[in-house]
Structure 1
Amino acid sequence: MNLNPLHKRFETFTYKNLNDLEKKVAELGLEIPIYPRVEILQQKVKIKNVFIPNRLAIQPMEGFDADLDGTPGKLTFRRYERYAKGGAGLIWFEATAINHDCRSNPHQLLISEENSKKLKELVSFTRDICNKSLKKLGFENECVLIIQLNHSGRYCVRNSKKYPIRAYHNVELNNAKGLSDKDGRVVSDEELKQLEDIWVQKTTLAKNIGFDGVDIKSCHGYLIHELFSSRVREDSEYGGTSLENRSRLFLNIIKKLNNIRDFIITTRMSVYDGIPYPNGFGVKSVENDKFPAIIDLTEPIEVINKIYNQGVRLINISAGNPHYKPHITRPYDIPIKGGSPPNEHPLYGINRILNLVSLIKSHLPDDMIVMGSGYSYLRQFAGYIAAGMAHEKKVDICGFGRMALANPNFPKQIFQEGIIDKKKVCITCSKCSEFMKLGENVGCATRDPQYKK
């Protein structure tokens, strides 16, 4: 299975019909399943004793529109209202900081006792609208709402200035954000031990607020994900050559959450970040490898099987570190301002993400529900690829990120029309990513008048 490209030519999306896309997929020799019977996406999915009404989900995307105290603001309510009206069975709420010190933006959501009343309002508001939308579409089960709890790690911001709290020093990651080793600090073992209990406390709070589950975020270069690759973190219980040490924070949190009943414990995990050994995760231990590094999923699969043994039955698979090389996470036509197109065809990026999900799923028990991504780039044809992945049992739930910002009604369009409205699709212009990089309110500058400038 070719997950890293030999074909180096970058091309933009020019496919006028499904036949054009199928021809390009065949020409490039890719394994992107296309299945026109999208009704399969209306099937419910069972996670233990919970049913998700259908196979479509909203991925967690930070809006940076909370008030300064971390409570959801007007634009936060607006975004989740739009998601809720669309008909997705699962809404995965965005990265929410577990304390003030670990926010990546002054307007990032924060979970706290002080903020719990406003978060309850957001959950109740979203759930009510979403359930009404699902009922109108003919679904019997109610929506599922999961919140992603996060520590931003090396991407922390304090007093509107970058203040990285790293697992270890990494020159390339520093350079990508304009940092030096003198900025911020390396997180101590003692602090990591304290964070275990903070995560547990905030998970309990999330349940009391009304969420159906919590995602202990382990993707995209944030603290837990970075610890997975902390081989150069010496003399530490949370780093070094041992995977047991590097995954200690994550696994300890999951273990401590094992006694919470009737609540989904999950994670969104970057199973491959492309960063060469020794600083990458899901990569082969080859000296002097180059980006994107050779894929080796041995360690991610080992970690996932361990959380399965702790009772976790849902995992959301992602890849890459968008702060470093964003095309691994989200292939695009246009890079953010100042960026450049990657040295690969975007469909190779889609092929990589889809097949990473498929490979992970093939190594897990059948009752571990796997959610994947990589669909937004495919525009109006995304439903066919999502259906293909589900039909071939390569994924259980299909998550959409950028598409939901551009066209939150994409699930309804797939269910009712069989295809997403091509006049409303995400065009992968990277403006939403640019807003995030600039620390501004995040939305679709192409399709949503609220964010057009």
Structure 2
Amino acid sequence: MARFFKYKSVAELVAENARLGTDLRFSDDLAPLAAPLSIGPRTAGNRWCIHPMEGCDGEPDGGPGELTFRRYVRFGDGGAKVIWGEACAVTDDGRMNPRQIWLADHTRDAFARMVAAHRAAHRAANGDDADLLFGLQLTHSGRYSYRRPLIATHDPLLVGRYKVAADTPLLTDDDLKRLVDDYVAAAKLAVAVGFDFLDVKQCHRYLLSELLGARNRPGPYGGSFENRTRLAREIIQAIKAAVPAHVVIATRMNGFDGVPFHKADSGDGEPDAFATPVVNGWGLNPDSPLTPDLTEPIRWVQEMRQLGVSLVNIALGNPYAQPHFGRPFEYPPPDGYESPEHPLLGVDRHFKIAGAIQAANPGLAVVGTGYSYLQEFLPQAGAANVRDGRISLVGVGRASLAQPDWVRQLRDHGRLDRKRVCRTFSYCTALMRAKDHPLGQYPTGCPPFDKDAYGDVWKEVQQLGRK
């Protein structure tokens, strides 16, 4: 089990960058991160974004739970000016787990209280909240819906995962068409309760993400590029027409899917066997599916801009099939594998793919990913990427669970609190994967650095593992 992160300074990371042949850049001048940014009709007060991260702690009816409220109060307090609210189901049968939040008429008031508490916390700690953008990620979980898989295409590389069999029926064209109204209904409620932007989620192989790569699906929602982007296009157009002009339309989209990996005898991850050309996938070369091909992602982002999308967050991979793509890690999740590559190669992949999409879309607010693995040096990497125009906003995921006030730490002290820096040990993922709970899902957070909320939960999950 190789352990990679042994760096004590930016200079050591720069030397490793040269050894690996990557294009990681660092700057001690953090001023670019404090600059405001125009995002559609709005302005964000700085270049920091907190990524959407499910806490798996909603109520059974879909409303936010006590820990959900706590998380967004802490994020509001923390100082980042773009808070990307987590995946929120637009239908009950499209929920990823029994505790995923679901915005509907019966949960509206609870969401409104959460938004108000979030904004109040931000004002109390940071002053004005006029330049704070709090958004919500609208999603349908598709093949990962917890009651039964709702798939858009038959992908031979994903058969056997998450209860999907070779004969699992596809969602019909009519099933897909009906979802447009569900997205619009959720979007209207999100605006009514106070969210500033709406994300039409197209990442991580959930439903709309799966459709982007569904080259083998027949009919109007598969095959050609126009067909594969049709449902997302219809949803974006319908939402844009239904909400006020001040609401920002956003998307978190995969830049590259890749192929599934599995745990080899060595414990390392290795790609599943595949035949070429692969019949599904987005942002890849069908004849060499481990190689990104950004032709279609760049084209789609450019088309979405014409539809009114003004904020794009770039993700990679499938967290259930190749977690090292999306989250370069030091320790694997319990159901995962050791990283098959140096994690800095994964960080570099994130930066290059997001950078290429940003370069093809000057003036668009693009959020980058992959920073948490850099630990206390993530601010220097973010500052260099913003300085060089490689990205507009620096997105931070896991590290925000460990240290939700990291922006204020930088503002007040010029550095992160080293005692609360995420070390990418995957405890949060381990909690998310634990299902043997009376509500069907354990809440997820950061046990090492948020013991008050998750210490006892972690002990319980560890006991389950020993049993």
Residues 10 and 343, structure 1, Cα contact 8 Å, conserved in 2: no
Which of 303, 306, 314 in structure 1 is aligned with 2:303?
A: 306
How far did residue 403 of structure 1 move? 0.4
Name 1:280's counterpart in structure 2.
281
How far did residue 10 of structure 1 move? 5.8
Matches within 5 A, 1:10-409: 11-135=3-127, 141-158=130-147, 163-177=148-162, 179-182=164-167, 185-234=169-218, 236-240=219-223, 242-259=224-241, 260=243, 261-275=245-259, 277-286=278-287, 289=288, 293-364=290-361, 366-409=362-405
How far did residue 48 of structure 1 move? 2.6
Q: What is the TM-score normalised by the length of structure 1?
A: 0.92
| In 1: Cα distance, 2:384 partner to 2:160 partner | 39
How far did residue 18 of structure 1 move? 1.8
Gaps of 5+ in 1: 1-8
Residues 76 and 122, structure 2, Cα contact 8 Å, conserved in 1: yes
Aligned to 1:267, what secondary structure does the other structure show? strand
Identical amino acids, percent of aligned pairs: 36
Aligned to 2:418, what secondary structure does the other structure show? coil
| In 2: Cα distance, 1:48 partner to 1:40 partner | 20
Aligned to 2:249, what secondary structure does the other structure show? strand
The Cα offsets for residues 376-406 of structure 1, whole Å up to 9 and x where unpaired, read as 1111000000101101011111111000111
Residues 10 and 26, structure 2, Cα contact 8 Å, conserved in 1: no
> Would the alpha carbon gap of residues 171 and 436 (structure 1) be closer, same or farther in structure 2, given more than 3 Å must change?
farther
Q: Which amino acid aligns with 1:331?
A: P
The Cα offsets for residues 97-120 of structure 1, whole Å up to 9 and x where unpaired, read as 001110011100001011101100
Q: Which amino acid aligns with 2:448?
A: T
The Cα offsets for residues 10-43 of structure 1, whole Å up to 9 and x where unpaired, read as 6421112222211111111110110111122111
RMSD: 1.6
Name 2:454's counterpart in structure 1.
451
Name 1:3's counterpart in structure 2.
none
Q: Which amino acid aligns with 1:208?
A: A
How far did residue 141 of structure 1 move? 4.3
| In 2: Cα distance, 1:263 partner to 1:29 partner | 42
Name 2:464's counterpart in structure 1.
none
How far did residue 173 of structure 1 move? 2.0
How far did residue 419 of structure 1 move? 1.8
| In 2: Cα distance, 1:433 partner to 1:176 partner | 18
The higher-RCO structure (CA 8 Å, 6+ apart) is 1
Worse-superposed segment, 379-388 or 44-53: 44-53
Q: Which amino acid aligns with 1:264?
A: V
Q: Which amino acid aligns with 1:393?
A: G
| In 1: Cα distance, 2:2 partner to 2:419 partner | 24
Q: Which amino acid aligns with 2:22?
A: L
Which of 412, 415, 418 in structure 2 is aligned with 1:416?
A: 412
Q: What is the TM-score normalised by the length of structure 2?
A: 0.89
Name 1:442's counterpart in structure 2.
444
Q: Which amino acid aligns with 1:451?
A: Y
Worse-superposed segment, 382-391 or 335-344: 335-344
> Would the alpha carbon gap of residues 338 and 103 (structure 1) be closer, same or farther in structure 2, given more than 3 Å must change?
closer
Aligned to 1:157, what secondary structure does the other structure show? coil
Q: Which amino acid aligns with 1:304?
A: V
The Cα offsets for residues 361-386 of structure 1, whole Å up to 9 and x where unpaired, read as 1111x331111111111110000001
Residues 131 and 142, structure 1, Cα contact 8 Å, conserved in 2: no
Residues 123 and 129, structure 2, Cα contact 8 Å, conserved in 1: no
| In 2: Cα distance, 1:192 partner to 1:444 partner | 36
Gaps of 5+ in 2: 260-273, 435-440, 460-467
Q: Which amino acid aligns with 1:37?
A: D
| In 2: Cα distance, 1:340 partner to 1:300 partner | 28
| In 2: Cα distance, 1:334 partner to 1:297 partner | 29
Residues 104 and 155, structure 1, Cα contact 8 Å, conserved in 2: yes
Aligned to 2:291, what secondary structure does the other structure show? coil
Query: How many residues get paired?
Result: 430
Residues 329 and 339, structure 2, Cα contact 8 Å, conserved in 1: no
Aligned to 1:271, what secondary structure does the other structure show? strand
Q: Which amino acid aligns with 1:205?
A: L
Residues 47 and 367, structure 1, Cα contact 8 Å, conserved in 2: no
The Cα offsets for residues 401-441 of structure 1, whole Å up to 9 and x where unpaired, read as 00011111111112222221221111111111121122310
Name 1:5's counterpart in structure 2.
none
| In 2: Cα distance, 1:263 partner to 1:282 partner | 29
How far did residue 140 of structure 1 move? 7.6
Aligned to 2:87, what secondary structure does the other structure show? strand
